Each structure stands twice: as structure tokens, then as C-alpha cells.
Amino acid sequence: MSTADLYIRVSTDEQADKGYSQRNQEETLRRYCLNQGIEVREVIHEDHSAKTFKRPAWQGYISRVKKHRHRYQGLVLFTKWDRFSRNAGDAYQMINILEALGIEPQAIEQPLDLSIPENKMMLAIYLAAPQVENERRALNVFYGMRRARKEGRFVSAPPVGYGNFNENGRKYIAAKYPQADIMKWAFSEISKGEFTTEQIWRVACKKGLKVGRNNFYTILRNPVYCGKILVPVYRDEPEYWAEGQHEGIITETLFRKVQEILSGRKTKGRKIYVPDQLPLRGYLYCGNCQTALSGSASKGRSAYYYYYHGFKSCRCRHKAVAVNTAFVALLKTFIVNPAIEPVFKKILKQRLAIQQGVTITKRTELEQKIERLKQRLHKARELMLSGDLEPTDYQEIKVDADVLLTQHKQTLDNMPDLDLQLSHILQKSKSAMLSLDGIYKKASTENKRSLIAMLFKGKLIYMGTKVISTEQGVVLNRCFDQV
């Protein structure tokens, strides 16, 4: 009695579209073996495309056959040749491998005696038909996706900052927050040309952007962010942007500006990127040779240690912690000029109002409305007492005015008292609010460097254990007095 292995394959799309079933194939193959007196040795179930033979179950089967060749002599059966392969070239190669291993592949519904050369022409037809079907299907998908792009529909997975939505059966993409806000910020920062794209990517990741560096460079080229859909070049049709059905998160002008910077056609001076431990790098000079000091990290036994150091002309090397402490000591030598304290309080009050969503104008308008309502009631009362207004009319006016007064007073009471908050903040922090060293310590590295550039127009020189400024900026001279 001959033996056979049953190969049953179905992919998900075939099962959905054509109704193929692994259970139905196995039943058909077992019935055939029973009628032909063939012993079933093994059943291989596959849920994978037949475009190639890189299928998990098939690869495992071939490995077992090569390892135990004496046990796997006979047939490998399947219902049709398209269950075996949908690529004629790969199929012929695999048939040769199986024959070398002593196994004959055979489709029970399309039987062929492969020992007869003429039958291989028929085999070519059986194998070519599914291959043509695959290529036609792929071409239909391509044309469909291209037509969708021309209509302004996004046909791929939504890019970072967008998400898939479904409204009444209509599928579309729209901005997904907070990722959309981070991408909008990234485009805005790149357009300034101040920092490199990698630096902006690092900050964006800290803000919560979840994307790799290489992918970040790729998505910045996608016009979907400005409300456009890229239709790629095809044959005699040039590449162009179609108007998208979605809403862009940035303007087309901003997107094109970013593309110019990414392509190198438009560049500006780049701000240097510094670690948090080296905020003075680029501003600090050596007290001996007057050359600018760089900075880097040195790996110790258990951690990294940061140093400010010179270049080839100067071999000096200073611990970053000591230099940073010396600079903070320099900031402590400046005290606030009393003349600017009222201005500072006014600015703080305005910023406090904006931060809390409250404006001084809105409070003033409410107070004026309340005052006008009170005057209106007072006038109506006088008209009633003089007999020029009926009591019932006065009562209606009073009821309406009382309702409005109650609403305005509640709104006013719910609004924070800026003067009270400002007084509380000033009492709590006292002069520390206007302390340069306190502001500097709490600031981010970027804000620290902005503060240094604003206050010190000359060189910062590290000499001995002190940081010395050769020239304080105009703002520093006006606002602070050195002790």
C-alpha cells in the first residue's frame, strides 16, 4: 500500500472570497485516499499565501523530509495545483527538490503524470492561471488605490498625528491629539532653521512623540500634514499633489518651507546641541589662552562625568559641576534694581491672567455691567416713586435685573482674584522671584542658554574657581546692580 502526506492550504482572503475551507479539503483528500487504497501518513495544515514557498508549515515539512528521507517516500497530495503554488518558476523548482527526495507531488482534481514530458505543458497552464490571477488582482488593487489618491483619500495606515475614524459608515483620517500638536510643533521648529532635525526629534520624543528617528525623517516629507495626498508618477502621468479630503494640521506654506530646509536649499545658523550637564558650552572661555571651551562626558566606573575642556592649543580640563556652581555664584552677585519691580509685577499679573484664562478686560466689563444694572434699578425705583412708572412694570424690571446681577456676580466670584494671587505669590517667594540664580536653576537647558545669551554680551571666562564676565549686557546693566 502506498503512503501519502496531505497538504492543505488556504489563505485568509481566499477563505473569505471563494469559500475555501481546510476542513473541506481534508475531507476530499481523505476520501480520495480511501478509494485509492492510499495510507495517510501526515496532514500538513497551512494558513499562508502561495506566492512563495516561504511558508511555515511547508518549510517544516521539507525539513522533516530531509532529516528522515527513508520514512517520507511516496506522495504529497493536494486538491489543486494552486494549493501547491501560484508561481510557476518556484513550483518547477520545488517539484525537482521533491523528486530528488523521493516524493511525488500530485493534485487529485488536476492529475498529471509528470513522467510524461507533454504533461508538463498542462502543468504550466495549471500553474500560470493562478499566477495571472494574482497579478491581475494586484493590478486592480494598484489602480484602485491610485484612483483613491486622486480623489484625495488616504489609503495607507494613518501617519503619526492622525487616526482612523468612522462616521455613519464613512471612513476617514483626522488629527489625533496630542500627537498632532507635537508634529505641528516639530514642523514649526524645523522651519525656523535654528536646531537640527535630530535635536527637534529628541525634544519631540520627550514631549510624547512615539516614532523612531529614521521614520521621523520620512514622515516629515509626507504632504498629508498640509492636507494634500501624494499621487506618485506612473507611466506618462507625472507626480503631483491631490487635494485631500482630510484637514491638514499645518499650512502648505509651512510644509514647503520645511522641505527646503530638509533638502538643504535653505539653511540658517544651527544652534548647537548641549547636554543638560553642560549649559555653558559655547559661551565659556579659558582664562589662560582665551580660547572657547568645549565639553564632553567621560565614562567612569559606575557613571559618566562631564567636563569643560580646551582643544589642542589648551589642555585644560575642568569639572562641569564646579564650573556650573561658579557661574551660579556669579549670578548671585546681581540684585534687582528696585525701579523695575513694579514693571515686573505688572508683567507677572498679565501672564498670570493669560495662564488661567482670565483677562483684566473681562473682569472690568463684568464690573461695568453690574454697575449699569444697579443704576438702572435705581432709576426705575425713582420713576415708580414719582408715579411715572407702574409698580408692576417696576417689578418686571427688577426681576430681570436681579437675574442678570446674580449671573454676573457668580461669574465674577468664580474668576480668580489676580491681585490676591499676585500678593500671595510675592509674599511666598519674596525676592527669590527676581533672583537670577533661582530662575537659572529652575530653567530648562534651552532657557538657561537663552538667559545667558540675553544677559552676557561679552565672554564668560573661567579663571581659577570663578566665572568672570568681561561685559554685562544692556538689559543686565539696566535691570540689575552688581553687589
- Per-residue pLDDT of 342-388, as tens digits, reads 777 777 767 766 666 656 677 788 888 889 888 988 888 888 888 88
Residues 431-436, mean pLDDT to the nearest whole number: 61
Confidence of residue 184 (pLDDT cuts 50, 70, 90): very high
- Per-residue pLDDT of 225-282, as tens digits, reads 999 998 988 888 898 888 888 889 999 999 999 998 888 765 555 556 678 888 888 7
Residues 323-339, mean pLDDT to the nearest whole number: 82
92 has a pLDDT exceeding 70: yes
173 has a pLDDT exceeding 60: yes
Q: Which residues are CB-neighbours of 396 under 8 A, at least 6 positions away?
A: none
Output the pLDDT for position 220: 92
Output the pLDDT for position 290: 76
Q: How many CB atoms within 10 Å of residue 392?
A: 9
Greatest pairwise CA separation for the chain in angstroms: 125
The verdict on pTM exceeding 0.85 is no
The three cell numbers locating residue 271: 544652534
Q: In what order do the strands lie in the sheet with 284-286?
A: 284-286, 460-463, 466-469
Confidence of residue 131 (pLDDT cuts 50, 70, 90): confident
The three cell numbers locating residue 4: 501519502
